[in-house]
């Protein structure tokens, strides 16, 4: 079996590396057209894709159709990114012999890294899987991809790969391997230049260990656990907060990386009771895999042993949405354990007496993808902003964290353990930067320069010339 696993990984990576040579040399406008072709193919084959995913994940049709549309939109976004050209970050400094020291002609831009290994996620069989954000951003950058399929939806993975390959100029640009045992040889393959991962802290830590054992450690971009704290201030409306929280908590049976796992509410004002009533009216549902189900039951059971159960929803398929309660002081005493992610429809409601008591506790929380504030008056939240800025990669005002817009400005990352590299995002236009490396050209012949760095700028990309940005 080991030989078969190694052979499968070797074949996929070598094919990807070979296909990648022509792909990285393909002009950005042509790569953009290919990405749009992939988007069209995904939508064209939606009637084949969503039923396979529904059978394997038990997610509803509407959710899966929407996810296919989102995945296609990601490919279209990166077609726009390629045509814009700003992602290469072209910089030109002309020579200045009068500078101290004298300055030569120096030009810099980003180039694709090489073969990217992607670990598919369990909870989004399309948008964070074979054709997900890691894959499309890597392809856009000019990198071939080898995906390790998630064991929760293997047939969906095969179908998706087949659809995408039909739209690629070389099917080797998208490799696919199956099985837990393929992860290690994929990460350690000498032709793999970077790894993208969406999953648990334990999984991400294991991958980082494999990378550290390589003779040439490579970049690792992992999206791991996140509790996504929500701060409710006294001026907020209890009924609106409670209904919105219950809906966000139980969306997709709580199986979102942006699920709100901590809610800080005033001890006065009826917030706690409103939350209890709203959550009590919800229901559970089937989870994506037996492993996720068992993990949720263990984690929620541990919370039940340490905290008061504030409310529980209806039990469906053995899963009950639950909310636990604690005073701010008791919660702080239970850190860091009480701030560990419970993947599923469970959260802790933390009562506080005064908003001024919150910053000290917020500064002790682990990093998150999101942090949310609910208030009627912005001034009420002013003293919380410094702590929130250091806590999460996306700050939300009077909204809910579930749902991540695919756009230019989106940042989907945060301090550990939300992600391994908080400066980078796994969603949005900026995610392409993960799969690039800068190269500077000093006194390089003009005929040999990439077109993005030439003075006549034949591709029309944004250039920073002698310190000034030209668009």
- Which residues form the catalytic set? 223, 257
Residue showing tokens 């609106």: 240
Q: What Rg, from alpha-carbon coordinates, does the chain have?
A: 24
For residue 69, give both structure tokens: 């549309």
For residue 224, give both structure tokens: 């791991």
Q: What's the CA gap between 424 and 205, in Å, rounded?
A: 18
Residue pair 194/435 in contact (Cβ under 8 Å)? The answer is yes
Q: What's the CA gap between 119 and 151, in Å, rounded?
A: 11
Residue pair 312/279 in contact (Cβ under 8 Å)? The answer is yes
Between helices 61-84 and 28-44, what is the axis angle to 10°?
170
Pick left, alpha or beta for residue 352 (phi over 0 → left; psi -120 to 50 → alpha; otherwise beta).
beta
What kind and span of H or E run contains 82? helix 61-84
Give me the long-range contacts of 448-451 (CB less than 8 A, separation at least 24): 449/107, 450/109
Q: Which residues contact 255 (CB under 8 A, 6 or more apart)?
A: 122, 123, 287, 288, 292, 343, 344
Residue showing tokens 């550990």: 416
Residue from 160, 174, 195 nearest 44 by CA: 160
Write the burial class of residue 58 (CB in 10 Å: 0-12 exposed, 13-18 middle, 19+ buried).
middle
Question: What are the beta bridge partners of residue 106?
Answer: 93, 442
């Amino acid at each position: 079996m080991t030989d078969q696993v190694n052979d499968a990984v070797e074949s996929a990576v070598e094919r990807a590396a070979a296909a990648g040579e022509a792909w990285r040399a393909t002009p950005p406008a042509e790569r953009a057209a290919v990405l749009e072709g992939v988007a069209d193919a995904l939508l064209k084959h939606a009637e084949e894709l969503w039923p396979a995913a529904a059978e394997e994940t038990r997610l509803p049709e509407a959710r899966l159709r929407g996810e296919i549309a989102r995945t296609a939109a990601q490919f279209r976004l990166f077609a726009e990114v390629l045509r814009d050209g700003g992602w290469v970050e072209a910089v030109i400094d002309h020579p200045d012999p009068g500078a101290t020291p004298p300055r030569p002609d120096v030009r810099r831009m980003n180039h694709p890294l090489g073969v990217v290994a992607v670990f598919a996620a369990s909870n989004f069989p399309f948008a964070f899987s074979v054709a997900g954000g890691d894959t499309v951003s890597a392809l856009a950058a000019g990198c071939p991809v080898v995906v390790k399929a998630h064991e929760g939806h293997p047939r969906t993975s095969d179908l998706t790969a087949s659809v995408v390959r039909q739209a690629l100029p070389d099917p080797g640009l998208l490799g696919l391997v199956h099985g837990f045992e393929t992860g290690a040889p994929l990460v350690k393959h000498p032709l793999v230049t970077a790894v993208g991962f969406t999953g648990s802290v334990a999984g991400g830590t294991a991958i980082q260990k494999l990378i550290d054992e390589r003779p040439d450690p490579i970049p690792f971009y992992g999206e791991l656990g996140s509790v996504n704290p929500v701060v409710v201030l006294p001026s907020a409306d209890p009924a609106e907060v409670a209904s919105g929280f219950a809906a966000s908590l139980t969306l997709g049976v709580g199986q979102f990386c942006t699920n709100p796992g901590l809610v800080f509410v005033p001890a006065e004002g009826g917030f706690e009771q409103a939350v209890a009533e709203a959550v009590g009216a919800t229901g559970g549902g089937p989870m994506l895999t037996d492993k996720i189900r068992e993990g949720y039951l263990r984690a929620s059971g541990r919370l039940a042993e340490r905290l008061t159960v504030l409310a529980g929803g209806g039990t469906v398929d053995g899963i009950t949405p639950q909310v636990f309660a604690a005073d701010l002081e008791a919660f702080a005493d239970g850190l860091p354990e009480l701030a560990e992610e419970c993947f599923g429809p469970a959260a802790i409601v933390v009562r506080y007496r005064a908003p001024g008591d919150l910053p000290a506790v917020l500064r002790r929380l682990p990093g998150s993808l999101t942090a949310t504030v609910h208030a009627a008056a912005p001034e009420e939240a002013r003293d919380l902003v410094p702590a929130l800025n250091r806590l999460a990669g996306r700050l939300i005002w009077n909204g809910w964290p579930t749902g991540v817009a695919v756009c230019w400005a989106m940042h989907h990352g945060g301090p550990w353990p939300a992600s391994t590299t908080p400066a980078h995002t796994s969603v949005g236009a900026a995610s392409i930067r993960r799969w690039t490396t800068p190269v500077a050209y000093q006194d390089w012949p003009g005929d040999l320069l990439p077109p993005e760095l030439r003075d006549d700028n034949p591709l029309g990309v944004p250039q920073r010339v002698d310190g000034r940005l030209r668009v």
